[in-house]
Amino acid sequence: MKSTSRTTKTSSLGLSPSEMPVTASNRPSILQPSPPFSSSILQPSPPFSSGIPSESTVRNLLISYPSPEDFKYDYGTAGFRYEASLLPSVFVRMGMLAAIRSASLDGEGVGIMVTASHNPERDNGMKLADSNGGMLHPDWEVYAVQFANAPNDVESAISHINELCHSTVPGWSNIFGTSVSNNGRKMCVHIGKDTRSSSPLLSSLAIQGALAMGATVVDHGLLTTPMLHHIVMHSNPNLLPNLIPQRCNERGYLEVLCHSYAALLRTAVNDCAVGERKERRKRTILVDCACGVGYPKIQLIRQHLQLLRLDDGCNVVNIHPINGSEDGPLNDRCGAEFVQKNRLPPTIYGASTAKSTNKKLNVGIMKTPYHYMASLDGDADRIVFHYQKHSDGISNNDWLEFRLLDGDKISVLISSFIQEEIRHLQKIFSSNDDNGGKEGKTNASQVKCGIVQTAYANGSSTSYLKNIVKTQVVTAKTGVKYVHSAAHENFDIGVYFEANGHGTILFGPAFYSLMFQSESYFLSHSSHQTQNKTRANIAWRRLRVLPSLVNQAVGDALSDLLLVDAILYLKSWDLGLWDGIYEDMPSRQFKVKVQDRSVITTNHNETRALTPTSLQPALDAAMKAMASSHSNNKNDQMNVPPPRCFVRPSGTENVVRIYAEAQTQRDADALASEAIMLVYRLCGGVGEIPAIFGSKL
Ligand code: 16G
Ligand code: MG
């Protein structure tokens, strides 16, 4: 697309420098890390050269770190995840595999994140990032599993590596030989790690594996998972849309995030208001960091935002992080997974301002008045919001009810906001002097917005999206790789969130085209402003900043936190108003142990079980019986979703998961109990028949 010169037109558009679009021609150079940011670039050391595998080092590593006897590794929903002592061989081998993956992409950077996310401290794992910053290509998941399970016998392992290189990197065979085909290959692997005590060792093993293959390794040290994905995505600028400034290190990531957030806040209408109004819009958020890596990163964001506040009085949120990695056990009774699954407030460990437990978030916390809370998971790729509701509304004391705003509520908030802004922008293209809708051009009505949910999405959220927001909703299989690709394939602006708080927004070419077209429009129509056009201009300024604020590589708790705060700020909403847009259907989740969970297979989006063949008809009958006992016209008219339940094999644990929702908690529990019995009976349940009450969910 032809870029437009902006230097002379800046003031007519009313854009501050931080709001200026970035194109390939004015894209800032990559910033080098400086304290407190650090990353080291490691090259294979002499006598080996970059790009050439070292056979002796590869052999030594394979011999020194054999895999455990009779153990089979699986690439789960989100990579390898096991008790940490089982992982050294996997890390050595995956370091090598990442290098080969990079070679197969002609040297594009790929990534390894050392983390087990929301699992307990004793576990660890790795998530592999492909060069576009997304999840590893499915073919490579297969190669990863094959290599992780390759025999320990070193000759077999060496020939396994040779075959992998031969079949995936054009013209690369006999890689340890001296033939012409053994000329150097470009390979680059980025590595980040979370705060687990096993992460430094495992990270160093992956680094050694990658270096042994001749790769250049960029060790970024402590990172959140989304930061690593962002860095990988930005290290391959050919894959980056022009509107997004290229920043492939931690400092750049934080700068882009904070500046785009501030740019979005600055679009607030009447934001110049001072005194009481501005005071009223001050807000503090407590962020529970699950005792993980989110804590140090939120502190950096907080510092950055304080500078922005001092610089120009931008009304940024005051973030107060709690539950740092030194404060308590990782993910233990705190963090997004705990809060969302148990619907309980997090325990607050030894944070300086809060010494009490979750029973009463009082004493210390009360010294820091706050407006709402959020919880991240251990590697900060999930976020949920929550507050304690007083009978009169939100209050800082005498809480009566814990209220959770999960991924469903986040996606409803974000998608309603985007749809509204698109509607305002649409007005310039529907007026008489428009330039939209002509051949070869995109206009706002042609940009397809939609939501991707999983079967776990609460029925009320789906009903709200379809009937009130009037947007298209697609249901995809559980797991980021599935929801991500569904958003990419179905929509120009695809919002996806799992109920557990993992989600983001993807922007496609039609969206970027609309942004450039709007820019041209405002450049040429700046002289005659009407109310509609002024609002459309605000809508454009809001929309165009989103691709930089949002981490399009993967769901990102830090970016989602700032986006949600900005939307609430622009709407002048508090959590109570947001929470009140719809009421969740009561639901129940449960897990059942079975001999072999693979006996259950499901349809493409896991809403229906295909095998055992008698299971789904029995579940259907249970749902039907419950629906008919409640059937009345009023419910149908009010779009109250019918009772629903589904079962699916877990992708991360050896269990079958059950979900049920209905109009009352009692009914949801009854439906879940019925499903538990059916799974236990038809799918080879083991141990005692589980009961919902008194059991750990
Ligand atoms: C992993 C997935 C998450 C999914 C969960 C389901 C990623 C990065 N994470 O944590 O999206 O909701 O698994 O677990 O893909 P389950 O299969 O055990 O229910
Ligand atoms: Mg996570």
Rounded CA separation 349/175 (Å) = 52
Work out the end-to-end distance of the chain between its first and last CA atoms, rounded to an integer number of angstroms.
Answer: 52
On whether the CB atoms of residues 687 and 593 are closer than 8 A, the answer is yes
Give yes or no for residue 78 CB within 6 A of ligand 1. Answer: yes
Q: Which of 494, 529, 533 has the alpha carbon at shortest distance from 510?
A: 494
Write down the pLDDT at residue 394: 54
Q: How far apart are CA 294 and CA 287, in angstroms?
A: 9
Q: Which atom of ligand 1 is nearest to the CA of 118?
A: 10
Tell me how far the alpha carbon of residue 91 lies from the centroid of ligand 2, in angstroms: 19
Tens of pLDDT, residue by residue over 574-589, are: 888 999 999 999 999 9
The residue-averaged pLDDT of 82-101 equals 97
- pLDDT at residue 30 tops 60: no
The domain made up of 48-222 has a fold known as Alpha-D-Glucose-1,6-Bisphosphate; Chain A, domain 3 (3.40.120)
CA of 381 to the centre of ligand 2 (A): 5
Asked if 673 is an active-site residue, the reply is no
Residue range 643-687, pLDDT digits in tens: 999 999 998 778 899 999 999 999 999 999 999 999 999 999 998
The C-alpha angle with vertex 47 and arms to 42 and 50, in degrees rounded to 5, equals: 45
pLDDT of 94-119, one tens digit each? Answer: 999 999 999 999 999 999 999 999 99
**Long-range contacts formed by 506-511: CB under 8 A, 24+ apart:** 506/552, 507/241, 507/546, 507/547, 507/550, 507/552, 510/442, 510/446, 510/447, 510/448, 511/447, 511/543, 511/547
What mean pLDDT comes out for the span 359-378? 64
Residue with CA closest to ligand 1 atom 19: 650
> What pLDDT score does 445 carry?
72
Q: Ligand 1 mean position to 37 CA, how many Å?
A: 30
Say which of 117, 203, 235, 518 is annotated catalytic: 117
pLDDT at 436 over 90: no
CATH level 3 topology of 250-348+367-406: Alpha-D-Glucose-1,6-Bisphosphate; Chain A, domain 3 (3.40.120)
Render pLDDT for 615-643 as a digit per residue (tens, 0 to 9). 999 999 999 999 987 766 555 556 788 99
Lowest mean pLDDT among 106-115, 177-186, 423-432, 514-523: 177-186
Domains 250-348+367-406 and 587-683 share a fold: no
Q: Where are the domains of the chain?
A: 48-222, 250-348+367-406, 408-429+445-554, 587-683
According to CATH, what is the number of the domain 408-429+445-554? 3.40.120
For residue 591 and ligand 1, the question of a CB distance below 6 A is answered with no
CB of 478 shorter than 6 A to ligand 1? yes
Q: How far is CA 619 from CA 238, 442, 602, in A?
A: 49, 45, 13
Beta-bridge partners for 451: 473, 495
If phi over 0 gives left and psi between -120 and 50 gives alpha, with beta otherwise, what is residue 184? beta
pLDDT of residue 600: 96
pLDDT more than 90, % of the chain: 67
- Residue 411: count of CB within 10 angstroms of its CB: 27
pLDDT band for position 483 (cuts 50, 70, 90):
very high
- Domain 587-683 fold: TATA-Binding Protein (3.30.310)
Q: Which ligand is nearest the CA of 224, by number?
A: 2
Evaluate: CB of 21 within 6 angstroms of ligand 1: no
Work out which ligand 1 atom sits closest to the CA atom of 479: 11
Nearest CA to ligand 1 atom 2: 479
* Ligand 2 centroid – CA 118 distance (Å): 6
As a whole number, mean pLDDT of residues 342-366 equals 59
Q: Distance from the CA of 200 to the center of ligand 1, in angstroms?
A: 24
- For residue 479 and ligand 1, the question of a CB distance below 6 A is answered with yes
